[in-house]
C-alpha cells in the first residue's frame, strides 16, 4: 500500500510531466515565431525583444494568405457535404431496415483505413484527364471519401441513442420516414453533428499527402502544403521565424476549437473504441 500523501505527490509529478510534455514543444514554436534577426540564432527560452514582424510578414505573403483562403473554403464545403451525405447514410444504417447492412458498414469503415498513397496516382491521372487537377473540387471529392466513414460512424452511434418512440409517434401522425428524420431525429442529434463536423474539419485542415499530390500552384495549395513548401524553397537558409509564425497561425484555430468543444471532440474520438 502506498501512503496517500506519497500517492498524491506522485500524481502531481505525473500531472506536471504531462503538462510539460504536451505544452513545451508548442511553446517553443511560439517562442521562435516571436524572434527576429539575430535573436533567431540565440537559444533563449523567452524572446529578448519579442516582435510580431514574422506574423505581419506572412500576412503580406500572398501564397500564404491564399492558402489560408483555400483551406477555409475546402474545409467548410467538405464538412458541410460530409454532414449532409453522412447523416443520410447514418440514418439509413441506424434506423431503416434493409439487407446487407453489416457488409455496407464494414466496407465503409475499411475505406477510412485506406492508405491515401494507394489512390494518389490514379486520382492524379483521372483528375488531369477530366480537368479538375489543382482545383478545389479535385481535393473536396477525395476528402469527402475519407471523411464520410468517420462521420457516418459517429452520426449512426448518435442516432442510435435517440429514443425510437419519438420517431414512431411522428410516423403514426402521418409523417414519412424522411420527415421523421429531418424534423425529429436530426435536431435531437445536434451534438452528434457538431462532433462529426469538428472531426471532419480537423481531418481536412490537416491532410497533407493528397493535398501535395493533387495541387501544383498557390491557387489551390492548402495550408499544410504552403507551410511545408516554405522550407523546400530555401534549402540552405531555413526561414525559421516566418515558418514558425505560419505554423502557429494555422494551428491556433484548432487549439481554440479543442478548448471550446473538448467534450464533443473526446466523445467523437472514443465513439468507435469502447462500446461493448
Partner 1 sequence: MEASTARLGRRWSRGGRRYGTGERRLARAMLAPSLIVMALVAAYPIGYAIWLSLNEYSVRVPGLSRFAGFDNYSEAFSSPEFWDAVTVTFLFTVISVGIELAVGLGMALAMHEAFKGRGLLRTVVLVPWAVLTVVSAITWRTIFEPNLGLAPQVLSALGLPGADVVWLGETGWSMAVMVLADVWKTAPFMALLLLAGLQVIPNDVYDAAKVDGATTLQRFRRITLPLLAPAILVALIFRTLDALRIFDLPYVLTRGANDTTTLSLLSYQELTTNRLIGYGSALSVLTFAIVMGVSFLYIRLVGGNIRSLVADER
Give the nearer residue to partner 1 in terms of CB position, either 190 or 266: 266
Could you identify the residue written with the cell 435531437?
A: 188
CA–CA distance, 62 with 122 (Å, rounded to integer): 31
Site string for partner 1, 36-65 (x = CB under 8 A): ----xxxx-x--------------------
For position 184 contacting partner 1 by CB under 8 A, the verdict is no
For position 236 contacting partner 1 by CB under 8 A, the verdict is no
Q: How far is the CB of 195 from partner 1 (least distance, A)?
A: 13
- What's the grid cell of residue 263? 467534450
CA–CA distance, 231 with 66 (Å, rounded to integer): 18
Give the nearer residue to partner 1 in terms of CB position, either 49 or 168: 168
For position 245 contacting partner 1 by CB under 8 A, the verdict is no
Q: How far is the CB of 60 from partner 1 (least distance, A)?
A: 20
Secondary element (H or E) of residue 185: none
Give the nearer residue to partner 1 in terms of CB position, either 69 or 101: 101
Spatial contact of 21 and 211, defined as CB atoms under 8 Å apart: no
Secondary element (H or E) of residue 195: helix 190-206
Spatial contact of 86 and 151, defined as CB atoms under 8 Å apart: yes
- What's the grid cell of residue 238? 531555413
For position 114 contacting partner 1 by CB under 8 A, the verdict is yes
CA–CA distance, 221 with 72 (Å, rounded to integer): 11
Give the nearer residue to partner 1 in terms of CB position, either 23 or 190: 23
Give the nearer residue to partner 1 in terms of CB position, either 24 or 190: 24
CA–CA distance, 161 with 83 (Å, rounded to integer): 18
Which residue of 49, 110, 219, 234 would you call a contact of partner 1, by CB under 8 A?
110
For position 148 contacting partner 1 by CB under 8 A, the verdict is yes
For position 80 contacting partner 1 by CB under 8 A, the verdict is no
Q: How far is the CB of 56 from partner 1 (least distance, A)?
A: 20
For position 101 contacting partner 1 by CB under 8 A, the verdict is yes
CA–CA distance, 69 with 58 (Å, rounded to integer): 14
Amino acid at each position: 500500500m502506498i501512503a496517500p500523501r506519497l500517492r498524491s505527490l506522485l500524481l502531481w509529478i505525473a500531472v506536471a510531466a504531462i503538462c510539460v510534455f504536451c505544452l513545451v514543444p508548442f511553446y517553443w514554436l511560439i517562442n521562435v515565431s516571436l524572434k527576429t534577426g539575430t535573436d533567431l540564432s540565440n537559444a533563449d527560452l523567452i524572446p529578448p525583444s519579442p516582435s510580431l514582424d514574422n506574423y505581419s510578414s506572412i500576412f503580406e505573403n500572398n501564397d500564404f494568405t491564399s492558402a489560408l483562403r483555400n483551406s477555409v473554403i475546402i474545409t467548410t464545403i467538405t464538412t458541410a457535404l460530409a454532414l449532409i451525405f453522412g447523416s443520410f447514410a447514418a440514418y439509413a444504417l441506424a434506423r431503416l431496415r434493409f439487407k446487407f447492412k453489416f457488409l455496407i458498414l464494414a466496407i465503409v469503415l475499411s475505406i477510412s483505413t485506406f492508405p491515401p498513397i494507394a489512390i494518389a496516382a490514379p486520382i492524379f491521372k483521372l483528375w488531369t484527364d477530366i480537368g479538375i487537377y489543382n482545383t478545389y473540387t479535385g481535393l473536396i471529392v477525395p476528402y469527402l471519401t475519407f471523411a464520410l466513414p468517420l462521420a457516418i460512424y459517429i452520426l449512426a452511434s448518435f442516432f442510435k441513442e435517440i429514443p425510437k418512440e419519438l420517431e414512431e409517434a411522428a410516423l403514426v401522425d402521418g409523417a414519412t420516414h424522411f420527415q421523421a428524420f429531418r424534423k425529429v431525429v436530426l435536431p435531437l442529434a445536434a451534438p452528434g453533428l457538431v462532433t462529426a463536423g469538428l472531426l471532419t474539419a480537423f481531418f481536412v485542415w490537416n491532410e497533407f499527402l493528397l493535398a501535395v499530390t493533387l495541387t501544383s500552384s498557390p491557387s489551390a495549395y492548402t495550408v499544410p502544403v504552403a507551410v511545408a513548401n516554405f522550407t523546400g524553397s530555401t534549402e540552405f537558409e531555413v526561414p525559421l521565424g516566418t515558418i514558425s509564425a505560419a505554423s502557429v497561425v494555422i494551428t491556433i484555430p484548432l487549439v481554440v476549437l479543442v478548448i471550446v468543444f473538448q467534450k464533443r471532440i473526446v466523445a467523437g474520438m472514443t465513439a468507435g473504441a469502447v462500446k461493448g
